[in-house]
Amino acid sequence: MITIYKAEYTFIDDRFHKDQALAVQGDHILDIGSFAVLCSRYPEAIIEDWSGYALFPGTINAHNHSFQSLLRGIATDEPFLVWRDQALYKYTPALDAQTLYAGALLAFGEMLKYGVTTVADFFYVHGNGIENDEAILKAADDLGIRFVMARTMYDWDGAPFSYRETVADAVTRTRTLAKRYAAHPRLTIHPAPHSPHAASPEMIQAGHHLAKELDVPFHIHVAEEMFEVNDILRDYGARPIHYLDQLGVVDESLLAIHLVWLEQSEIDLLGARKASLAYCPSSNMFLADGVTKIPELLQAGVRIALGTDGGCSNNRISVFEEMRMTALLQKVHRLDATALGALDTLTMGTRNGAEILRLQTGKIAPAYAADFVALDLTDLSLQPFSPELLPAHIVYSMQPTAIRRVVIAGKEVMRDGAILTVPEKRIRNLVADAQERFAQIENTTSANQS
């Protein structure tokens, strides 16, 4: 069955075009053209009249930790290590498969309301198996979001036990899941050694090797905090990117997260090797990490996508928000209003993210996934309206009230602020159950301190 989506404007090739409708067949875009032409070509098609709306590619959240949405509001306004210990490590014992499923529904459901159609979840609470991983995958599947599990490979003995695996177990379990979901139309598995400080050299190399085997990127946190850089210098005698290069893993498959504290030689190397960055500006500000050198990375040839990071280190999970933060942070940090433009960040939050994750989405074009959002052109946050002003409005002024429809793989999953796939009341109830588990930990902690 073919469906024709008629809209006022459609974002194609970096600008909005009037009277360009979409013909969608199954989960992909079949054709683009004027409404009259498409109706003539496909006379039996179903018509979705979205007059008054502009169609825009769904956004790509290239880095998230879904379970952290359950911890939102805990240990706010604290330094990084205090935040980590009090918001993450403290509550990890309560994170079983059911609780993690609730957290993923909360995170991914909220993203749908903000126009995110694809998310990469850097997930590491494995619990010595894959049951927890399956819970996250089920949440993504139930909601209908396009999903990459960046399955974390973590062997630092200072982390909670449920994060840690041997190299052999991490590889076997990640490969098992990758094969299990290889034919799934929306779910994909990537290896993700946690970081140079929380994954051993052997684990990092194993993740890189597995990524090559599976023909996917590998994800890794790098140089988020200055103490991490100092630790790598102390332990390995090199800065983080040069250390990773010594391991033989700096190439086009590398998707690094953060890259806050880099020297120019590291930036040049990343560009020369065609590596990529998932940039999380709101999280970097929230945790006082620092400011990544985005213009220098772009000039060197590093591809950049946007991520929200976890729900307790942001605490919003909108890629449209990250577009705004990316541009504004670079402008003020460099005292240069021209440092980064609206179209640059629009591209980072859509097409770049998809290309880096190696997914056929992120743009409105024939043969691409039918993942798009409908923006209400009468919303006050998009006024005064003109098609020429709309890209800048989307980045700098648009509010979530303008996002009226979300389509993923040809299926409408959000309409007029309501999720259509999983009842929001059910999500709230499951989150309340998780809060009760956290309260038990809080009560135990208080009793031990008294």
Examine the fold and report which residue of 332, 357, 382 is the final residue of a domain before the chain moves on.
357
Same domain, 302 and 405: no
Residue 78: exposure state from Cβ atoms within 10 A (0-12, 13-18, ≥19): middle
Separation of alpha carbons 206 and 329, rounded Å: 35
Same domain, 298 and 339: yes
DSSP 8-state code for residue 439:
H
Residue 444 has pLDDT above 90, yes or no: no
Confidence (pLDDT) at 448? 62
Alpha helices in 237-361 (DSSP H): 240-246, 264-272, 281-286, 294-300, 319-334, 342-347, 353-357
What mean pLDDT do residues 213-242 have? Answer: 97
What mean pLDDT do residues 113-142 have? Answer: 98
Quick one: tokens of 343? 């179209």
Q: Are 433 and 102 in contact (CB under 8 A)?
A: yes
Residue 447 has pLDDT above 60, yes or no: no
- Hey, CA dihedral for 421, 431, 135, 120, is it positive or negative? positive
Residue 399 has pLDDT above 60, yes or no: yes
Examine the fold and report which residue of 357, 381, 397 is the final residue of a domain before the chain moves on.
357
In a domain, 224, yes or no: yes
Same domain, 267 and 384: no
Confidence (pLDDT) at 449? 58
In a domain, 33, yes or no: yes
Residue 160 has pLDDT above 80, yes or no: yes
Separation of alpha carbons 164 and 125, rounded Å: 8
Percent of the chain with pLDDT over 90: 96
What mean pLDDT do residues 273-285 have? Answer: 98
As a whole number, the mean pLDDT across the chain is 97
In a domain, 440, yes or no: no
**Boundaries of domain holding 394:** 2-56+370-419
Quick one: tokens of 138? 């089920």
In a domain, 437, yes or no: no
Same domain, 136 and 26: no
Separation of alpha carbons 42 and 46, rounded Å: 9
In a domain, 448, yes or no: no
Same domain, 385 and 258: no
What mean pLDDT do residues 217-246 have? Answer: 97
**Statement: the pTM of the whole predicted model exceeds 0.85:** yes
Same domain, 163 and 193: yes
H or E element in which residue 55 lies: strand 46-57
What mean pLDDT do residues 23-48 have? Answer: 98
Confidence (pLDDT) at 445? 62
What digits encode the pLDDT tens for the residues 280-290?
999 999 999 99
What mean pLDDT do residues 64-83 have? Answer: 95
Q: List for the chain the helix, strand, coil content (%; round to 5).
A: 45, 25, 35
Confidence (pLDDT) at 384? 98
CATH number of the domain where residue 41 is located: 2.30.40.10
Same domain, 318 and 247: yes
CATH number of the domain where residue 160 is located: 3.20.20.140
Residue 289: exposure state from Cβ atoms within 10 A (0-12, 13-18, ≥19): buried
Confidence (pLDDT) at 442? 75
For residue 384, is the peptide bond before it cis, meaning its omega torsion is within 30 degrees of 0? yes
Residue 415 has pLDDT above 90, yes or no: yes
Same domain, 50 and 66: no
What digits encode the pLDDT tens for the residues 319-352?
999 999 999 999 999 999 999 999 999 999 999 9
Confidence (pLDDT) at 349? 98
Residue 97 has pLDDT above 60, yes or no: yes
Same domain, 32 and 164: no
In a domain, 145, yes or no: yes
Confidence (pLDDT) at 326? 98
Q: Are 122 and 149 in contact (CB under 8 A)?
A: no
Confidence (pLDDT) at 440? 87
What mean pLDDT do residues 352-372 have? Answer: 98
Residue 450 has pLDDT above 60, yes or no: no
Same domain, 35 and 68: no
Confidence (pLDDT) at 310? 97
CA 395-401-405 angle, to 5 degrees, is 95
Separation of alpha carbons 187 and 344, rounded Å: 28
Separation of alpha carbons 172 and 164, rounded Å: 14
In a domain, 42, yes or no: yes
Write the DSSP string, 180-195: HTTT-SSEEEEEEE--
Confidence of residue 446 (pLDDT cuts 50, 70, 90): low
Distances (CA, A) of 292 to 119, 279, 280, 330: 22, 8, 9, 8
In a domain, 170, yes or no: yes
Examine the fold and report which residue of 333, 357, 381 is the final residue of a domain before the chain moves on.
357
With both helix axes pointing from N to C terminus, report the angle between 131-143 and 167-180 in degrees, rounded to the nearest 10.
Answer: 30
3-class DSSP state of 408: strand
Number of domains, the chain: 2
For the chain, what's the residue count? Answer: 450
Separation of alpha carbons 112 and 126, rounded Å: 25
Residue 425 has pLDDT above 70, yes or no: yes
First-residue to last-residue Cα distance in the chain: 65
Same domain, 182 and 316: yes
Same domain, 81 and 50: no
